[in-house]
Chains A and B, each alone.
Chain A
Amino acid sequence: MHELSIVMSILEIADKEVKKANAEKVDSIELEIGTLSGVEMEAFDFAWEISVKDTVMEDAERKVHRTKAKAKCADCGHVFFAQTLYDDCPKCGQPFNEILNGRELRVKALTVS
């Protein structure tokens, strides 16, 4: 369950920012998790629940932007929304694409107080 390490990394970032701002806790946190980032949201929610207890993030409202993945066909150059890392190009049908985005794993912003 790497989702646990991901939540722990978010906690570390949050901790640092809370200290930097001389604050006590995180009120809200905004994340960007691409649809092809390899993060299973169910596992992520579970990891979140068991990890934030007794931390600065215990009561934080969480906002997750699920960036929809886009791929570019290596043959015809068509850009399309990718469901997987191995979609067929919807235009020409060949299977080799370059993933343009959708693998984001970022903390965008925090509100601390």
Chain B
Amino acid sequence: MCSTCGCGQPDEVLISKPGKADLGHLEMHHHDEEHPHHHEHHHHSHAGGKTIVEVEQDILGANNKLAERNRGYFEAKNIFAINLVSSPGSGKTTLLERTLKDLKDELSISVIEGDQQTFNDANRIQALDIPVVQVNTGQGCHLDSDMVHRAVKELNPGENSLLMIENVGNLVCPALFDLGENKRVVIISVTEGDDKPIKYPDMFLSSDVCIINKTDLLPYVNFDVQKAKDYALRVNHHLEFIEVSATKGDGMDRWYEWLRKNRGK
């Protein structure tokens, strides 16, 4: 048992080769304070024609770097970029449509639509005379910062505008991919389980706001709003909640208020 942190369990090291699941387990306690590793970055050592490279690189580093570039671009043009994430069917496009209708006279808005297939959602946005680019990810289950970078080039959003990015419907994968957005907004609808926040905690941990949609259906379903909020707060106690019905319009004013308030920051 370690006295610093009270841990008893060592980290597990799995060694495996293609084809063979794993070659055995090594047990190793590794503890930064007790056994500091000072690896020089890109230190090369040569032994018998082999080169050992200490890389120490974030696997998602390339995505994160480009996300930072996107963020810099948004900042320079004072663009407020929102990454909208949810399961398929929670109401991302419906919320967007209503928001665009209600705010398009007040704000300059453009949209990036992410879906594996089809131009359906982009067509729904286009019908409202809003500049939109559709990104079809094919097999890919999330947008990444390069896709957004390319879509933004295409869109060329104006200064002081609002950029809404509808991610691919998926509560798992988009959580890991920073797009360079200013805020991440996760939507759950009351037709889903109220335990979604702990089933898909990564997404709720990485989001700033949780919109609870389809509140018009509350009388007909077993969704416990307070329970959903409690679960979500366990994962991320900074999360803000906004309850809306994107089809009926209830609660949308609070969402617009949030947008106005945070856009200026």
Contact = CB atoms under 8 A, between A and B. Distances in A.
B17 A105 contact: no
Contacts of B23: 61
B58 A112 contact: no
Contact of A110 (B53, B62, B176, B234): B53
B15 A63 contact: yes
Contacts of A79: 5-6
- Chain B contact surface mostly: mixed
Contacts of B12: 66, 68
Contacts of B7: 68, 70, 81
B256 interface: no
A50 to B, nearest CB: 10
A95 B234 contact: yes
B44 interface: yes
A16 to B, nearest CB: 9
> Which of B21, B28, B57, B58: most chain A Cβ within 10 A?
B57
A76 interface: no
Contacts of B52: 109-111
Contact of A13 (B49, B51, B55, B235): B55
The DSSP consensus for interface residues of chain A is mixed
Contacts of B39: 109
Number of contact residues on B: which range applies? 35 or more
A86 B51 contact: no
B173 interface: yes
A23 B51 contact: yes
A1 B9 CA distance: 30
Contact of B51 (A10, A59, A62, A112): A112
Given A2-B173, A62-B15, A107-B57, A96 B234 contact: yes
Contacts of B233: 95-96
Contact of A81 (B9, B16, B173, B231): B9
Contacts of B9: 68, 81
Nearest to B23: A61
Interface string A75-87: 0000111001110
A4 B183 CA distance: 26
A74 B5 CA distance: 16
Interface string A40-76: 0100010011001000001111111111101000100
Nearest to A22: B51
Contacts of B11: 65-68
Given A38-B176, A65-B30, A81-B7, A113 B57 contact: no
B84 to A, nearest CB: 18
B76 interface: no
Contacts of A86: 198, 201, 231, 234-235
B34 interface: no
Closest 10 A-B residue pairs measured CB to CB? A2-B173, A85-B201, A86-B234, A105-B59, A95-B234, A38-B202, A21-B51, A113-B50, A64-B14, A66-B12
7 contacts: A5-B144, A9-B63, A13-B59, A66-B14, A70-B5, A85-B235, A109-B53
Interface of A: 1-2, 4-6, 9-10, 12-13, 17, 20-21, 23, 27, 31, 38, 41, 45, 48-49, 52, 58-68, 70, 74, 79-81, 84-86, 95-96, 99, 105-113
